[in-house]
């Protein structure tokens, strides 16, 4: 019994040498990695709604990216990355994206990093009526919100919608921003009811 325990401890000790910190949180930049970690999310679904497995989905509109203060202007690829990551994760769940006119369900994606214009607000208010909020504030970072929604083609009402609010900052590397988007999209889409 003692020999087995010693062997188990040696194996665990040996494996611990193979572990390293996550690539999205380099040891040379721990201050932003720790401060960016908090996030808040909320998902709402119409009672009884589910997205049939394999059902094709179209885009309601282009990704709405609201950044009037140019918080993330040094990361111009993030809107396209967001769109392709949503499509990739939906594809992993069995849903292909098609032209909106031939889809029964449409998806809307938005990122809000400041005050919206009236037209942007009108577009979002057709689909969203939720308010995620971080309980903590940050003196160093601005707050950004990722919104996703699915509704019927031509219906202008969300049957499922979700939002994640998190801290964002210019000095955060784009690769970290992409990794965080992947995680937040996965968090939201993981709650999408399917049958």
Model confidence pLDDT, tens digit, residues 123-177: 777 776 555 555 555 566 677 889 999 999 888 788 999 998 887 877 778 888 8
Query: Where does the pLDDT of residue 190 fall: very low under 50, low under 70, confident under 90, or very high at 90 and above?
Result: very high
Q: Which residue has the higher pLDDT, 49 or 16?
A: 49
pLDDT > 70: percent of the chain: 72
Domain ranges of the chain: 36-189
135: left (phi over 0), alpha (psi -120 to 50) or beta: alpha
In this prediction, residue 6 carries a pLDDT of 32
pTM of the model: 0.72
What class is the 36-189 domain? alpha beta
State yes or no: pLDDT of 194 exceeds 60: yes
- Return the exposure string of 109-144: e unless at least 16 CB atoms fall within 10 Å of the residue's CB, then b: bbbbbeebeeebeebbeebbebebeeeeeeeebebb
Q: Answer yes or no: are the C-beta atoms of 83 and 63 closer than 8 Å.
A: yes
Q: What average pLDDT does the chain have?
A: 76
pLDDT band at 27 (very low <50, low <70, confident <90, very high): very low
pLDDT at 78 over 70: yes
Rounded to 5°, angle at Cα 37 from 75 and 161: 75
Residue 168 confidence (pLDDT): 80
């Amino acid at each position: 019994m003692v020999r087995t325990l010693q062997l188990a401890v040696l194996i665990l000790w040996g494996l611990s040498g193979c572990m390293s910190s996550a690539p999205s949180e380099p040891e040379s930049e721990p201050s932003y990695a720790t401060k960016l970690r908090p996030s808040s999310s909320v998902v709402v679904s119409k009672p009884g709604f589910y997205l049939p497995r394999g059902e094709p989905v179209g885009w309601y509109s282009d990704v709405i990216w609201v950044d009037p203060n140019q918080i993330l202007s040094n990361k111009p690829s993030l809107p396209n990355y967001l769109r392709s990551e949503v499509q990739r994760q939906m594809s992993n769940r069995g849903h292909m994206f098609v032209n909106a006119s031939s889809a029964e369900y449409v998806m809307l994606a938005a990122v809000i990093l400041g005050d919206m214009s009236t037209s942007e607000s009108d577009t979002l208010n057709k689909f969203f009526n939720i308010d995620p909020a971080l309980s903590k504030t940050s003196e160093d970072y601005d707050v950004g919100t990722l919104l996703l929604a699915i509704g019927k083609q031509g219906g202008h009402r969300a049957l499922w919608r979700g939002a994640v609010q998190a801290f964002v900052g210019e000095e955060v590397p784009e690769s970290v921003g992409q990794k965080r988007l992947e995680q937040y999209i996965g968090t939201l889409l993981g709650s999408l009811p399917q049958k």
